[in-house]
Each structure stands twice: as C-alpha cells, then as structure tokens.
C-alpha cells in the first residue's frame, strides 16, 4: 500500500510539474507573427486566423483596430498585441472620453479576444509631431483599461537605432534627441509594470555595415565567438544578442533596467535588397524562433518575440525590400518551412 501511494503521489507531482512548465512556456517562450495589412491582395481576416492556427502561431500583432480582424480573432485563443496608430495619438491624449470610446469600441466589445498588450504608437522618433502625445495617450488608454477592470498592459514600440552606441554592448546608450521621448515612456512603463516593445532587425545592421556585421553574424550561423565584451567577459556569436544587450544597458542608464523587453518585430526580407532571399529569411527566422527561448548573454530568459511579417505587403512605401518580409505569399502559400512553437 505504501508503495502504491508513493507511486500515485509521484505521478501527481510529475503531472503538476509538467503543467507548470507548460504554463511557463506559454507565458514567455512562444513566438508570434505580425499581421501587416498594407496590401490589396491579402486573404480575408478569417482565412488569416485559420492560417495562424494551422501553423501553430499563437500570438499576433496588428497595427490598428480593424473590426473585421477582431471579429475573426474572437474565440480563436490567439493572443493579440493591438496597435494604436500614430495618427490617433493627439485625439486620445487630449480627451479621456475619446480614450474611453476607443477602449469600448475596440477592446471591451471584444470580450472573446485574448488581448495581450495595447501598443500605443510605433517607432516614434525625434521631430515627429506625434511624439509629444505618446505618453499622454498611453495614460488615457491605461486609465480606460483600468477603469474597465481589464488588466491589459499598455506599451509602445521603439527602434534600435535610438541607440547612439551598441558596441561593445556594455557601453550601450541612447541618442540625446531620443531622451525626451524615452524618459517619460520609461517612467510610465515602470509605474504600470508594462514591458517595453522593441523592433530589432539584424538585416539592417548587416545591410548598412556589412564589414563589421557579416551575413553569418546576422543569421545566427557564425561559427564560434565573434567577440568578447571586455567589461564583463560576455561572449557574442550574433548581432541580435549584441544589440539586445546594448539596449538593456542603455535602458538601465535611464531607470529602465528592471523592464521586461518584448521583441515586437524582427525578420528578414526574401527579395528586393542585398542579401534579401528566401534562403536567408528561412535561416534567420527559424534560428530566431529557437534562439529567443534562451535570451541573450546578459539575460538568459524566454524572450517573447514577433516575426515580421505574416504576408508580403505590396502597397508599402519605400525601397522594394519593404514589400517582401512575408512568411507567406498573399495566396497563403508558405515561402519556406517555418516551425513555430
């Protein structure tokens, strides 16, 4: 009898441990995909949600509150980062009632959608008129969220070129002209226990400095250690880790050292630019999905990450490569095999 009870208890403990580990994995380690919609040939939102589920993609980022998308997501179980466009910041910053209406229309009315974060603004930069409205808009949206008892964190996404220096990572710091944006943003995130969203692209590090950032160092395929940080002996084998750790150091210098960081965009184009190819995109994105499970040399944590982009977007402005970040073509055919989660 004692042996039987011990066996049952051990089995119960193993079951509880397994469930705990599954919960930990689900909370942090899953990689999602961004769903950009700047195209005139994209599948319907319901088809997109089905494609996410077929490929075991359990998290999505969208850049504005399209109700057809929210309708399609209802009851899907997919966790969502919902964006507030830069163009809406001024009216939300100036009126709590506008924020209340926005939250009612785009969040409260969709009780079957699993909202993960509200991302207010994206990649605001010095000189942009909308920058002055960023944190005031975040405050009114957070007030509305809190008042509705929804418990959703509010954040914003920044670019890594906000860094003035990223080499070595231990000497990372921000550009002075970004500080009027970042200082109040960091204060808000600290006050509300929200993460900072960071868009991190090793493609651009390589594109603009291929001598110091060679292709293999950008794709997670460099053989061996490329450099050791003299300040702390941390070793770096890829530029993703080096950039992220420089971001951590820079944040610590402006009172953001305790913030969690979410990689809200990262990816590689398949055409339209130097070293933009299907093979390189396949290598980068599959390596990224595995790599972020272990964090960076400075922080060995599960790193929540979103691949940009789910589809090519044929109406995007800018260089040709801007149109070719998709994991899938608009006909829903995968450009290459990607294994999520």
Choose between 25 and 134: higher pLDDT.
Answer: 134
- At 327, the pLDDT band (50, 70, 90 cuts) reads very high
The pair of three-digit structure tokens given for residue 64, joined into one six-digit string: 């504005």
pLDDT surpassing 80 at residue 335: yes
Q: Furthest-apart CA pair in the chain: how many Å?
A: 75
Arithmetic mean of pLDDT, 64-86: 98
**DSSP states along 184-236:** HHHHHHHHHTPPEEEE--HHHHHHH-TTTS-HHHHTT---S--EE-TTT--EE
- At 30, the pLDDT band (50, 70, 90 cuts) reads confident
Q: What percent of the chain has pLDDT over 90?
A: 91
Arithmetic mean of pLDDT, 234-255: 98
Q: Which among 123, 279, 304, 313 is annotated as catalytic?
A: 123
What is the average pLDDT value for the chain, to the nearest integer? 93
Q: φ, ψ for residue 279 (rounded to 5)?
A: -65, -45
Does residue 98 have an active-site annotation? Answer: no
- At 341, the pLDDT band (50, 70, 90 cuts) reads confident
Nearest to 63 by CA among 30, 86, 94: 86
- At 126, the pLDDT band (50, 70, 90 cuts) reads very high
pLDDT surpassing 50 at residue 24: no
Q: What is the pLDDT of residue 19?
A: 41
Q: Which among 79, 265, 304, 313 is annotated as catalytic?
A: 265
pLDDT digits (tens, 9 = 90+) for 49-73: 999 999 999 999 999 999 999 999 9
pLDDT digits (tens, 9 = 90+) for 187-205: 999 999 999 999 999 999 9
Dihedral angle of Cα 320, 322, 325, 329, to the nearest 10 degrees: -60
pLDDT surpassing 50 at residue 27: no
Please name the helix (run of DSSP H) or strand (run of DSSP E) that holds residue 332, with its range, or none. Answer: none
pLDDT surpassing 80 at residue 18: no
Rounded Cα–Cα distance for residues 265 and 267 (Å): 7
Q: What is the pLDDT of residue 4?
A: 40
Q: Is-contact 263 29, C-beta < 8 A?
A: no
pLDDT surpassing 50 at residue 38: yes
Q: What is the pLDDT of residue 23?
A: 39
pLDDT surpassing 80 at residue 337: yes
Q: Is-contact 137 106, C-beta < 8 A?
A: no
Nearest to 161 by CA among 203, 129, 216: 203
Query: What is the number of other CB atoms lying within 10 angstroms of the CB of residue 204?
Result: 15
Q: What is the pLDDT of residue 29?
A: 60
Helix axes 179-192, 134-147, angle to 10 degrees: 10
Arithmetic mean of pLDDT, 272-290: 98
Does residue 265 have an active-site annotation? Answer: yes
Rounded Cα–Cα distance for residues 271 and 333 (Å): 16
């Amino acid at each position: 009898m004692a042996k039987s009870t011990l066996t049952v208890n051990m089995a119960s403990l193993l079951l509880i441990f397994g469930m705990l580990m599954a919960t930990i994995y689900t909370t942090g380690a899953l990689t999602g995909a961004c769903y950009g919609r700047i195209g005139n040939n994209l599948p319907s939102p319901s088809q997109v949600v089905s494609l996410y589920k077929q490929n075991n993609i359990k998290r999505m980022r969208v850049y504005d509150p399209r109700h057809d998308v929210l309708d399609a997501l209802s009851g899907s179980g997919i966790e969502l980062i919902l964006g507030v466009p830069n163009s809406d910041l001024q009216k939300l910053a100036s009126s709590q009632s506008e924020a209340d209406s926005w939250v009612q229309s785009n969040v409260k009315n969709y009780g079957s959608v699993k909202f993960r974060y509200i991302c207010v603004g994206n990649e605001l930069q010095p000189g942009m008129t909308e920058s002055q409205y960023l944190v005031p808009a975040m405050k009114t949206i957070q007030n509305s969220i809190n008042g509705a008892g929804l418990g959703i964190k509010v954040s914003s996404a920044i670019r890594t070129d906000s860094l003035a220096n990223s080499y070595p990572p231990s000497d990372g710091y921000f550009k002075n002209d970004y500080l009027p944006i970042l200082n109040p943003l960091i204060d808000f995130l600290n006050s509300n226990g929200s993460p900072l969203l960071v868009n991190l692209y090793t493609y651009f590090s390589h594109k603009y400095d291929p001598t110091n950032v060679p292709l293999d160092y950008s794709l997670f395929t460099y053989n061996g250690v490329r450099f050791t940080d003299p300040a702390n002996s941390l070793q770096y084998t890829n530029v993703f880790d080096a950039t992220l750790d420089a971001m951590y150091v820079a944040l610590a210098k402006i009172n953001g050292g305790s913030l969690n960081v979410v990689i809200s965009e990262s990816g590689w184009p398949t055409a339209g630019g130097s070293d933009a190819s299907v093979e390189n995109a396949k290598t980068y994105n599959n390596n990224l999905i595995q790599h972020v499970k272990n964090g960076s040399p400075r922080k060995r944590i599960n790193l929540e990450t979103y691949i940009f982009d789910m589809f090519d977007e044929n109406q995007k402005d800018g260089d040709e490569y801007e149109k070719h970040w998709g994991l899938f073509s608009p006909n829903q055919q995968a450009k290459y095999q990607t294994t999520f989660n």
